[in-house]
Structure 1
């Protein structure tokens, strides 16, 4: 497998596991088990050496209904575009397909959100006279070892509009005191030109990961800001999981992506 292909897969696996914890696990080199969220189904995918120039293959349904393999293989064929990663769209389309097939949620814990009074105050920007957050949609707050993460999204049509909204958001007293305000935007202009940018704000590589999430979810004309208040205990890689999961939650709440995403692109 080429270094580029390995990098594409590793980045995709990392991003997806940040969104759905433990969703993808390596079974063998270039072969991954994909645990479809909200179901008991596990699909084993084999990635070719030239991925994403060539689509992955369904090796087996290792948990759940074995007879689903041909339908899931057809699903990959319908989704695949040469040169574009596919696993996120495959997972979301699988969820929709399995719901139609009567595969209900397996009762797994979808994540623990702690809505402390402090988190609620920050989410709603309550200590400012004019609310700079009024044009933004907030995620549920996530706390882990005293660190607090909240993501916000706002619809924008230009890079200048994105910068202006970020600047206004940071005038909120509590948001301005966040340890990091990580941002990314992705815009498709009316003339067909696409522009995007991101800012780590001191959280190394976090902006790029946020941009990768926007790309994976095919989210357009949106700016995302993830605020983190450091609690004094280092979280290691878990901090990226919380950055991505809160960002995804805000994107869902804002209608930029749907929980059961159709195979067609919407944004």
Structure 2
């Protein structure tokens, strides 16, 4: 009856294929048949299996990457006590602030990860970058794009950005930070290139990562509170 009336019979056999993964693959295979009823689906199934394995390999590689980052950070913490973490860096009388790293964004084997530090002076920027690059994974990444906005005395805003080879990515980050109204913040987005060109999507992921780490650190809430205060003040001024 195949292929006119019924699909070919198949069995999924693999030691690593269990539970949810087996169900997902079986669902992909069944959906592929339903999309090609009455046609030969063996080659379609083969492509479906290839895509499933490729996606699975990407997820596992990302998980391994995260584990390696955690291990390297734990080793760094063990080798440096809390006082040395905040000590001046190589003779520069500038303290390194705490650095928060965000969730990974994965697309076609490219991996993006944001980092954020609260900075109050421009001299802290290279210190933070140097601290981040103590991680071999970050130091050898394809791009480490960053942007910062620091409010100085007399309300002067010091701001700058760096593409690190990803043309216009830094300026886009800086524009987003300006729109969000965040101050005294340095955001770094690390990208590990996966071998597949993402086109404009790479900028979307960089900005998404930037906004996510700002939100995760609670800075979006502060910006919204400031906006509410300004609107409330304007309303009161008009009433007067």
Q: TM-score normalised to the size of structure 1?
A: 0.52
Q: Decide whether the 8 Å contact of 1:183 with 1:207 is kept in 2.
A: yes
Q: Within the alignment, does 1:141 sit opposite 2:129 as a pair?
A: no
Q: 1:197 to 1:134 in 2, by over 3 A?
A: closer
Residue of structure 1 in register with 2:115 after alignment: 152
Residue of structure 2 in register with 1:235 after alignment: 198
Q: 1:259 to 1:160 in 2, by over 3 A?
A: closer
What CA distance in whole angstroms lies between the structure 2 residues aligned with 1:118 and 1:143? 13
Residue of structure 2 in register with 1:203 after alignment: 166
1:127 to 37, 59, 72: 72
Q: Give the structure with the higher percent strand.
A: 1
Report how far residue 127 of structure 1 moved: 1.8
2:131 to 168, 174, 177: 168
Bigger radius of gyration: 2
Q: Secondary structure at the match of 2:155?
A: coil
What CA distance in whole angstroms lies between the structure 1 residues aligned with 2:117 and 2:156? 20
2:210 to 238, 242, 247: 247
Report how far residue 215 of structure 1 moved: 0.3
What CA distance in whole angstroms lies between the structure 1 residues aligned with 2:124 and 2:229? 24
Residue of structure 1 in register with 2:228 after alignment: 264
Report how far residue 136 of structure 1 moved: 1.4
What CA distance in whole angstroms lies between the structure 1 residues aligned with 2:222 and 2:194? 31
Residue of structure 2 in register with 1:183 after alignment: 146
Q: Decide whether the 8 Å contact of 1:186 with 1:197 is kept in 2.
A: yes
Unaligned runs of 5+ in 1: 1-113
Q: Decide whether the 8 Å contact of 1:252 with 1:259 is kept in 2.
A: no
Unaligned runs of 5+ in 2: 1-58, 78-84, 86-95, 231-240
What CA distance in whole angstroms lies between the structure 2 residues aligned with 1:213 and 1:149? 17
Q: Decide whether the 8 Å contact of 1:154 with 1:222 is kept in 2.
A: yes
What CA distance in whole angstroms lies between the structure 2 residues aligned with 1:265 and 1:117? 43
Give the superposed CA RMSD: 2.6
Can you list the C-alpha shifts for 1:16-44, whole angstroms capped at 9, x where unaligned?
xxxxxxxxxxxxxxxxxxxxxxxxxxxxx
Residue of structure 2 in register with 1:14 after alignment: none
Residue of structure 2 in register with 1:117 after alignment: 63
Q: Decide whether the 8 Å contact of 1:125 with 1:174 is kept in 2.
A: no
Q: Give the structure with the higher percent helix.
A: 2
Report how far residue 162 of structure 1 moved: 1.6
Q: Decide whether the 8 Å contact of 2:181 with 2:223 is kept in 1.
A: no
Q: Decide whether the 8 Å contact of 1:119 with 1:141 is kept in 2.
A: no
Residue of structure 2 in register with 1:212 after alignment: 175
